[in-house]
């Protein structure tokens, strides 16, 4: 295949469909779990994963966990 | 790098590592928290001295407090026992025994008041899941501490799970299940005891009855998870794997054929229900 600068372009609609189907199957059948928990940082990767999970399972089956630095409790243990 | 608890499994793994690499290349990390038995730390320290390995004591209570581990666990227990106080000792046991009835697994929570009064109740699924999920912070925090020392020293983390724990799912995913090698994951507990004897690990560790050391009131592994003692479970499991007729197993182990079949079903059910614990993260091919 010939190389060109747009070689990584994908059919985003098709990839989204494939991934949501796969997420559904992996979570329900392979893992036998009821939903997903995603750590969301405000970055692009966790955002995409959370969005795919919400499409695949329904938003009510996805819990986003935001774990900021500071502000929360912090204790040091020895 | 081995987390040592004063139990037989971590003792055997630490002893094997010391033989394999030399005692100076093994670090024992002792990670007690407020619910740990005081004996455990003492036994683990004695073991490290016996093997001639360096050890570090990392009390993880502060880290667990930071995760709200105890608070979240107590919240779930309070829903079952409204008069529960944080200073009461608690434990979880399985409510069924494959030797007595069908393998219908449910769970009981017991609370021990300071005056010795013991109360037990059936634990509803939601509260059970929360108690276990909160308690699992303990094993996952230990994993983090182990990797801190492993990465600092360019070493590997040796996991201490045996076959009973590994295959029946009696471990915490990315907790005690998080390790770089698992040298005894193929060995039955009964075989681990034999290694312990051969390796001449301290008698005081070999004599101990295996406990979870996770709940403040001491609970044996038989009562918490396995339901049957290892001297019955392990040979019965071997027989199941090798298609030995149930009648022969029953005769040899002094059980009824019915009891043997119930043990088989319990093993299969536990294996099936815990498959996801052994799966690596699923990726797209």
For residue range B234-249, list pLDDT tens digits in order.
999 999 999 999 999 9
Q: Contact B94/B106 with Cβ under 8 angstroms?
A: yes
Cα→Cα distances B244→B198, B233, B235, B249, B268, Å: 29, 14, 11, 7, 16
Any residues with CB less than 8 A from the CB of B178 and at least 6 apart, and which? Answer: B140, B143, B147, B157, B159
> Structure pTM?
0.90
User: Nearest to residue B184, comparing CAs of B55, B11, B18, B54?
Assistant: B11
Q: What is the pLDDT of residues B12-30, one digit of tens each?
A: 999 999 999 999 999 999 9
Q: Does B276 touch chain A (CB under 8 A)?
A: yes
Any residues with CB less than 8 A from the CB of B21 and at least 6 apart, and which? Answer: none
> Can you state the angle between helices B257-273 and B230-241, rounded to 10 degrees?
80
pLDDT above 50 (res A74): no
Query: Across the interface, which of A22, A73, A76 has its CB nearest the CB of B284?
Result: A22
Burial B5-39 (b: 16+ CB within 10 A, else e): bbbbbbbbbbbbbbeeeebeebbbbbbbbebbbee
Tell me the torsion sign for CA atoms B87, B173, A29, B186.
Answer: negative
How many CB atoms are closer than 10 A to CB B198? 10
- Average pLDDT (A20-39) is 96
Any residues with CB less than 8 A from the CB of A72 and at least 6 apart, and which? Answer: none
Tell me the torsion sign for CA atoms A10, A14, A16, A18.
Answer: negative
| Cα B243 off chain centre by | 28
Q: Does A19 touch chain B (CB under 8 A)?
A: yes
pLDDT above 70 (res B103): no
User: In terms of DSSP bridges, do strands B107-112 and B89-94 run parallel, antiparallel, or are they unpaired?
Assistant: antiparallel
Q: What is the pLDDT of residues B172-226, one digit of tens each?
A: 999 999 999 999 999 999 999 999 999 999 999 998 888 888 888 878 887 778 8
What CA–CA distance (Å, rounded) separates A53 from A61? Answer: 8
What CA–CA distance (Å, rounded) separates B193 from B166? Answer: 16
User: Nearest to residue B68, comparing CAs of B123, B143, B137, B171?
Assistant: B137
Q: Does B61 touch chain A (CB under 8 A)?
A: yes
How many CB atoms are closer than 10 A to CB B163? 19
What CA–CA distance (Å, rounded) separates A53 from B57? Answer: 41
% of chain B exceeding 70 in pLDDT: 98
Q: What is the pLDDT of residue B260?
A: 96
Cα→Cα distances A55→A11, A17, A42, B116, Å: 17, 9, 18, 53
Taking CA atoms, what residue in B is nearest to A74? B66
pLDDT above 60 (res B48): yes
pLDDT band (50, 70, 90) for residue B105: low
Confirm whether the ipTM is greater than 0.85: no
Q: Does B22 touch chain A (CB under 8 A)?
A: no
- Contact across the interface for B279 and A22, Cβ inside 8 Å: no
The mean pLDDT value of chain A amounts to: 90
């Amino acid at each position: 295949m010939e190389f060109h600068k747009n070689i990584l372009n994908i059919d985003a609609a098709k990839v989204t469909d494939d991934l949501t189907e796969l997420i559904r199957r992996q979570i329900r059948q392979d893992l036998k779990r009821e939903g997903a928990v995603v750590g969301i940082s405000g970055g692009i990767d966790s955002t995409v994963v959370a969005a795919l999970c919400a499409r695949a399972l329904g938003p009510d089956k996805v819990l986003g966990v935001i774990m900021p630095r500071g502000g929360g409790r912090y204790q040091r243990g020895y | 790098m081995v987390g040592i608890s004063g139990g037989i499994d971590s003792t055997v793994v630490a002893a094997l590592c010391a033989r394999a690499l030399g005692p100076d290349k093994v670090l024992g990390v002792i990670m007690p928290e407020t619910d740990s038995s005081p004996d455990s730390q003492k036994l683990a320290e004695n073991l490290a001295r016996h093997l001639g390995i360096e050890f570090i004591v990392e009390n993880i209570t502060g880290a667990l407090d930071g995760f709200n581990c105890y608070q979240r666990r107590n919240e779930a227990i309070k829903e079952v026992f409204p008069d529960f106080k944080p200073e009461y000792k608690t434990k979880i046991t399985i409510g069924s025994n494959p030797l007595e009835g069908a393998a219908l697994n449910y769970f009981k929570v017991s609370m021990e008041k300071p005056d010795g009064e013991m109360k037990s109740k059936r634990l509803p699924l939601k509260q059970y899941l929360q108690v276990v999920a909160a308690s699992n912070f303990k094993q996952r925090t230990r994993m983090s501490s182990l990797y801190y020392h492993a990465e600092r020293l360019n070493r590997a983390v040796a996991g201490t799970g045996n076959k009973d724990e590994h295959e029946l799912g009696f471990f915490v995913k990315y907790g005690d299940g998080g390790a770089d090698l698992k040298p005894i994951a193929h060995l039955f507990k009964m075989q681990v005891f034999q290694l312990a004897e051969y390796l001449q690990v301290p008698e005081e560790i070999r004599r101990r009855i295996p406990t979870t050391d996770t709940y403040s009131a001491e609970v044996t592994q038989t009562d918490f998870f396995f339901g049957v003692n290892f001297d019955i479970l392990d040979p019965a499991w071997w027989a199941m794997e090798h298609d030995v007729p149930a009648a022969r197993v029953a005769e040899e182990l002094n059980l009824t054929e019915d009891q043997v079949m119930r043990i088989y079903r319990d093993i299969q059910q536990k294996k099936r229900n815990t498959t996801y614990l052994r799966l690596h993260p699923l990726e797209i091919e």
